[in-house]
Amino acid sequence: MIIAVDGPAGSGKSTIAAAVADRLAISHVDTGAMYRALALKLLRSDLPPEDEAGVASVLAETDISLGNGHVLLDGEDVEGLIRTPEVTAASSRVAEHQAVRTWMVDRQRRVVHRAPGGAVVEGRDIGTVVLPDADLKVYLTASEERRAHRRSAQRGATESEALQEVSSRDTRDMTRRYSPLRPAEDAVVIDTTDLSIDEVVESVLKAMRERLEP
């Protein structure tokens, strides 16, 4: 059972993917954490994420893996270091390079294929590029205001800072040249603006049952 969950920042991907994975007793794979780990490495080496050649040479000597809900960067557990505003902005920038995307997609597929029983995999290009054969593709959306509100509550930023962050990151993620964020043609689109977590989880599970029915 492979469920792809895509959507913009603050649409509820992480919460919903974790809850659905829990209900189905399968793995939750957070692909954004891998882009964030790479962004952290670049920031630590003072390398601008826009520097494509520099990023490619860093990639050649980088190992990023996922396990137990934590991301490991060259063996170091960096889960607690990758949600800062600096890493967040750099992760979206570094995700624009084709070489980075190819590198990530390859690793992400291996993680998912090793997961016993399947996985709920969240990101931006899961249904469109990483796992086009997923059993179910979900695309979560929500109004920009609601997404900014959720972000500010999670990260302790003001609403206007969060709105600015969400809006500029989504524009970049949706308009980039390679694997832009968009719903897969066969995705179930769920607007989470006025739904509770339980309601969204139930919608995903219902969509999954419908897909599985002969």
Quote the tokens at residue 59: 């990639």
Separation between Cα atoms, residue 108 and residue 102, nearest integer Å: 10
| Best CA proximity match to 4, nearest among 178, 166, 147, 188 | 188
Near ligand DC in 19-38, by CB under 6 A: 31-32, 35-36
Which is nearer to ligand DC, 170 or 201 (by Cβ)?
170
Strands ordered across the beta sheet of 70-73: 64-67, 70-73, 76-77
| Best CA proximity match to 58, nearest among 38, 36, 86, 87 | 38
Which is nearer to ligand DC, 69 or 206 (by Cβ)?
69
Q: Please report whether residue 49 would count as binding ligand DC according to CB under 6 A.
A: no
CA distances from 50 to 60, 61, 73, 91, 168 (A): 17, 18, 20, 11, 16
The residue written with tokens 């995307």 in the block is 101
Q: Please report whether residue 12 would count as binding ligand DC according to CB under 6 A.
A: no
User: What count of other Cβ atoms lies within 10 Å of the Cβ of residue 193?
Assistant: 14
Nearest approach, Cβ of 213 to ligand DC (angstroms)? 29
Q: Please report whether residue 128 would count as binding ligand DC according to CB under 6 A.
A: no
Q: Please report whether residue 40 would count as binding ligand DC according to CB under 6 A.
A: no
Which is nearer to ligand DC, 91 or 141 (by Cβ)?
91
Nearest approach, Cβ of 191 to ligand DC (angstroms)? 18
**Is 162 within 8 Å of 149 (Cβ atoms)?**
yes
Region near ligand DC per CB under 6 A, out of 67-75, 88-96, 182-190, 205-213:
88-96
Quote the tokens at residue 32: 């954004």
Near ligand DC in 164-183, by CB under 6 A: 169, 173
Region near ligand DC per CB under 6 A, out of 42-50, 121-129, 143-151, 186-194:
121-129
Region near ligand DC per CB under 6 A, out of 16-24, 47-55, 123-131, 151-159:
123-131
Interacting residue ranges for ligand DC, rule: CB under 6 A: 9, 31-32, 35-36, 91-92, 95, 123-126, 169, 173
